[in-house]
């Protein structure tokens, strides 16, 4: 309980290591990121690393959790969360995501969870579970707003809020991937608008028809 422990009970060194791990794994993925890389980027030595983490998989675990909680908090504190209308909150979220990526040039760093999910799902079951959980958390947040908005504006329209929320997460993840491959953020921004339009359709006063 001395100076080495800060706010949340984590040592500063450990925090720096996790942050470096997140940064590197977001860019290069899990396997291409070495422990030495992480130590170098964090300005620490291997001794420190293995003092806090029992393995590389262990820091990946911490990285996913920290990333998930950080993003979760970021969105929880975002201005759009203060909006009272649930549909407005959904639009606010879309705006927030678009604003977060900045412009078309400045590349998104991508989502750590997305990268990890593809790479380790079949080799590290525990990490796969964490990724799934991280996706679920976002999904649930969006589901809540969707359910409220549906009750308020489109109670008779036939759609499942949870399914639309997973659709949203998929769109975001797929867009991040395309952005990384195409070296521009335009796809991500465009796709957020497509999702917005989908919402507009779902919540249109006189909803034309359900799927096919």
Partner DNA sequence: ACGCACATACATACCAGTCGGTATGACAAC
Partner DNA sequence: GTTGTCATACCGACTGGTATGTATGTGCGT
Binding site for its own copies (CB under 8 A): 27-29, 31-32, 91, 110, 113-115, 117-119, 121-123, 128, 131-132, 135, 163-164, 166-167, 169-175, 177-178, 180-183, 187, 190-191, 193-194, 196-198, 200-201, 204, 206, 208-212
Please say which residue, 8 or 156, places its beta carbon nearer to DNA: 8
**Short-list 97, 25, 94, CA closest to 63:** 25
How far is it, in rounded angstroms, from Cα 177 to Cα 175? 5
Minimum distance from CB of 140 to its own copies (Å)?
14
Minimum distance from CB of 135 to its own copies (Å)?
6
Q: Which stretch binds DNA (CB under 7 A): 9-17, 66-74, 116-124, 188-196?
A: 9-17
Please say which residue, 45 or 132, places its beta carbon nearer to its own copies: 132
Minimum distance from CB of 26 to its own copies (Å)?
9
Judged by beta carbon distances under 5 to 8 A according to partner kind, the member of its own copies, DNA, none in contact with residue 86 is none
Tokens for 4, please give them. 């080495």
How far is it, in rounded angstroms, from Cα 124 to Cα 130? 10
Tell me the CA end-to-end span of the chain in Å, nearest whole number.
61
How far is it, in rounded angstroms, from Cα 208 to Cα 17? 53
Burial of 147 (0-12, 13-18, 19+ CB in 10 A): middle
Fill in the DSSP letter of residue 21.
H
Fill in the DSSP letter of residue 140.
H
Q: Which stretch binds DNA (CB under 7 A): 40-48, 75-83, 118-126, 170-178?
A: 40-48
- Residue numbers of the site for DNA (CB under 7 A)? 2, 4, 11-14, 33-36, 44-48, 50-52, 54-57
């Amino acid at each position: 309980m001395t100076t080495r422990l800060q706010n949340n009970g984590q040592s500063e060194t450990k925090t720096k290591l996790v942050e470096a791990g997140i940064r590197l794994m977001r860019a290069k993925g899990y396997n291409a990121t070495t422990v030495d890389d992480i130590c170098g980027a964090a300005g620490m030595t291997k001794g420190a690393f293995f003092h806090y983490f029992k393995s590389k998989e262990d820091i990946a675990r911490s990285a996913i959790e920290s990333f998930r909680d950080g993003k979760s908090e970021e969105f929880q504190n975002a201005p759009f969360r203060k909006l009272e209308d649930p549909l407005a909150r959904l639009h606010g979220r879309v705006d927030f995501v678009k604003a977060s990526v900045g412009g078309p040039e400045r590349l998104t760093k991508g989502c750590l969870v997305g990268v990890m999910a593809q790479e380790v799902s079949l080799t590290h079951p525990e990490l796969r579970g964490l990724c799934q959980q991280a996706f679920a958390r976002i999904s649930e947040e969006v589901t809540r707003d969707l359910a409220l908005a549906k009750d308020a504006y489109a109670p008779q329209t036939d759609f499942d809020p949870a399914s639309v929320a997973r659709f949203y997460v998929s769109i975001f993840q797929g867009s991040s991937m395309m952005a990384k491959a195409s070296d521009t953020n335009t796809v991500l921004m465009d796709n957020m608008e497509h999702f917005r339009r989908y919402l507009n359709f779902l919540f249109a006063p006189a909803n034309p028809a359900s799927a096919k």
